[in-house]
Amino acid sequence: MRVASIVGARPNFVKLAPLSKELRRHCEEIIIHTGQHYDYALDRIFFSELGIPEPDYHLHVGSGTHGYQTGEMLKRIEETLISAPPDLVLVFGDTNTTLAGALAAAKLRIPLAHVESGLRSFDRRMPEEINRILVDHCSDLLFCPTETAVRHLAREGITEGVHLTGDVMVDVLRGSVHLAIGKSRILEEQHLAARGYYLATVHRAENTDNIENLNNIVAAFCEIGDVVFLCHPRTERRLKEYGLWDRLNACITVLPPAGFFDMICLERNAKMILTDSGGVQKEAYIFKVPCITLRDSTEWSETLEEGWNVLAGADRDAIISLAEGFQPDEGSHTELFGRGDASARIVEIIRSTFGD
Ligand code: UD1
């Protein structure tokens, strides 16, 4: 059996890592990289740290408007799937790469499996929400990380091919923590003490492309002070454009995006995480670090219900007061995302559905 895994952006690579390992024990896998992310810090470093095999096809699509990017990817993925037809296409998460891969497979009538299916933020202004809904509605196998995700699909009439597998992020984190501790020097390099800093990431369009939101977030970070901010290239560009870059650098530590090992060490040792990323909210929960989400909605609603995550939007005062006073209850943590066997379960389901 030949499986084509389609990836292109940082969160896709991380989810591919444990699955690729498991898939290659039983099937032939080809990796198609769309080229959505191309900076070393968002792309190559994940392949080398996580030992992901080199992509068999690199489509070099790069950046652009959502329509351009998704359209170019769709065209090039279709050509690739026609030239090397797989028995199953595997897509991950909710990026434009995920949508393009899913559409290409569905139009060619190649069976499609979606890893991290059923997530909903119920905010259709987010490009990722549109991507998730569309991908789920054309998938044949839907691998859900949580029971909430299964319920979301049922509410939209999707019950066939749905499997509760746990989250592959637990697999990859479990497999990487010891390596990360051994290899990362980021805490020493940045003179950071465990629980002595807040870790922040911001890259969502709703924050980066809105001067008022970005201004409020910068003001909150400056007031909090002990913030290590990992800055995505699009955010850096906007901060410079809006004249906020120098002010931010004067009051907190601004670093380029971290590789996976450095990220793990930074997350595990932070006293709190402030982020608008989906994956980082989940990593905070898995590492039992309180998280303030810089958005008005989240697709990881269970983390709110258990009290480990809280929504602050881009509200300066809310961010500051939560950073001072937010304290989850240790006893409320229930390992929402499974125990680290999601990849094995996913591959087992693929094999039993399609044969070896
Ligand atoms: C994408 C995903 C988002 C994910 C994020 C992780 C979509 C719709 N969004 O957002 O869900 O959380 O990846 O990072 O797919 N850029 C670079 N170098 C790169 C890649 C991008 O400088 O290697 C800049 C470009 O200016 C580009 C902008 O970042 O236009 C946005 O990149 P894009 O891939 O479109 O979306 P992300 O914001 O990275």
Of ligand 1's listed atoms, the one at least distance from the Cα of 205 is 38
Residue pLDDT, tens place only, 18-67: 999 999 999 999 999 999 999 999 999 999 999 999 999 999 999 999 99
Q: Would you say the CB of residue 242 lies under 6 angstroms from ligand 1? A: no
**What's the mean pLDDT in 193-201?**
98
Contact status, residue 119 vs residue 132, Cβ threshold 8 Å: yes
Look at the block and give the residue holding tokens 């913030």.
227
Please, which pLDDT band fits residue 325 given cuts at 50, 70 and 90? confident
Note the pTM of the prediction, 2 decimals.
0.96
Do 165 and 345 meet the contact criterion of CB atoms below 8 Å apart? yes
Mean pLDDT score across all residues of the chain: 97
What single string gives the DSSP state of each residue in 163-203?
A: EE---HHHHHHHHHHHHHHHH--HHHHTT--TTSSEEEEE-
Does the CB atom of residue 121 touch ligand 1 within 6 A? no
Beta bridge partner(s), residue 200: 229, 274
Grade residue 354 by pLDDT with cuts at 50, 70 and 90.
confident
Task: Say which residue the tokens 């769709």 belong to.
Answer: 74
**Section 303-329 average pLDDT:** 96
Q: Give the amino acid at 301.
A: S
SS3 sequence of 1-47: CEEEEEECCHHHHHHHHHHHHHHCCCCEEEEEECCCCCCHHHCHHHH
Decide if 49 contacts 259 (C-beta within 8 A).
Answer: yes
Strand arrangement of the beta sheet that strand 2-7 belongs to: 57-58, 28-33, 2-7, 88-92, 112-115, 141-144, 162-164
How remote is the CA of residue 65 from the centroid of ligand 1, in Å?
Answer: 11
Instruction: Calculate how far, in angstroms, residue 37's C-alpha sits from the geometric centre of ligand 1.
Output: 6
Closest CA to 143 of 120, 124, 175, 166: 166
Cα of 48 vs centre of ligand 1, distance in Å, is: 20
User: What residues act catalytically?
Assistant: 203
Give yes or no for residue 63 CB within 6 A of ligand 1.
yes
